[in-house]
Chain A
Amino acid sequence: AQRVTQPEKLLSVFKGAPVELKCNYSYSGSPELFWYVQYSRQRLQLLLRHISRESIKGFTADLNKGETSFHLKKPFAQEEDSAMYYCALVYNFNKFYFGSGTKLNVKP
């Protein structure tokens, strides 16, 4: 069975500090992983996906199959990064399994 774990419910950092949001997964197949973000009073939206290997808003995430992790990183946090972040695993062809989310709070 698939599982996504985001161990931190809340992560608080100061502006300019590095950020790492943790995501670990369990899946017997070949994993496809996403990060979704929800800003205050906005809908859930895609931040990035592992296969594109792109950087969005300064965020990157590398799939580590050995450690079964897909941590989200940003070298210098900005106040506008404050939001809920969800790690999601795709299974059985386009079904999404979401983690419980991490609230990122970037303090001025």
Chain B
Amino acid sequence: ETGVTQSPTHLIKTRGQQVTLRCSSQSGHNTVSWYQQALGQGPQFIFQYYREEENGRGNFPPRFSGLQFPNYSSELNVNALELDDSALYLCASSFMTGRDNEQFFGPGTRLTVL
């Protein structure tokens, strides 16, 4: 069994550019959630995918979009980057069976927007 992995580890972009972050879920998990963690803050929920469909979204604009693939890996895409998008982006996978589904987190991707 392998844990949640994310790539790349670090990324530097300039304002206005687009970025794609990747996440590989833990083996056997069918749900992935993405979070943005700004410096000194807790993770903020961006959206969740369950069986390749979006299953809820937090308070983030449409330029934040995602995909989940048949193998349950996932991508987070951010268009028209802004300086405030600089943060640690976390993905977390789980197996949705009902309530109280523990989420397993990846190490994160540190995005810096200049």
Q: Which residues of A contact B (CB under 8 A)?
A: 4, 6, 9, 32, 34, 43-46, 49, 51, 86, 88, 90, 92-101
B33 interfacial contact with A, CB 8 Å:
yes
Within 8 A of A (CB), among B96-111: 96, 99-103, 105-108
- Which residue of the partner chain A has the closest CB to B41? A100
State the CA gap A94–B101 with chains docked (Å).
Answer: 6
**Which of chain B's residues have a CB closer than 8 A to the CB of A9?**
40
**Which of chain A's residues have a CB closer than 8 A to the CB of B86?**
none
Q: Which residues of B contact A (CB under 8 A)?
A: 4, 31, 33, 35, 40-45, 48, 55-56, 58, 90, 92, 94, 96, 99-103, 105-108
Q: Find out whether the CB atom of B100 lies under 8 angstroms from the CB atom of A32.
A: yes
- Which residue of the partner chain B has the closest CB to A49? B100
Contact A94 to B45, CB < 8 A, known contacts A44-B90, A44-B105? no
**Which of chain B's residues have a CB closer than 8 A to the CB of A45?**
105
Identify the interface centre among B35, B40, B90, B105: most chain A CB within 10 Å of its CB.
Answer: B105
Q: Find out whether the CB atom of A101 lies under 8 angstroms from the CB atom of B42.
A: yes
Contact A94 to B44, CB < 8 A, known contacts A43-B105, A45-B105? no
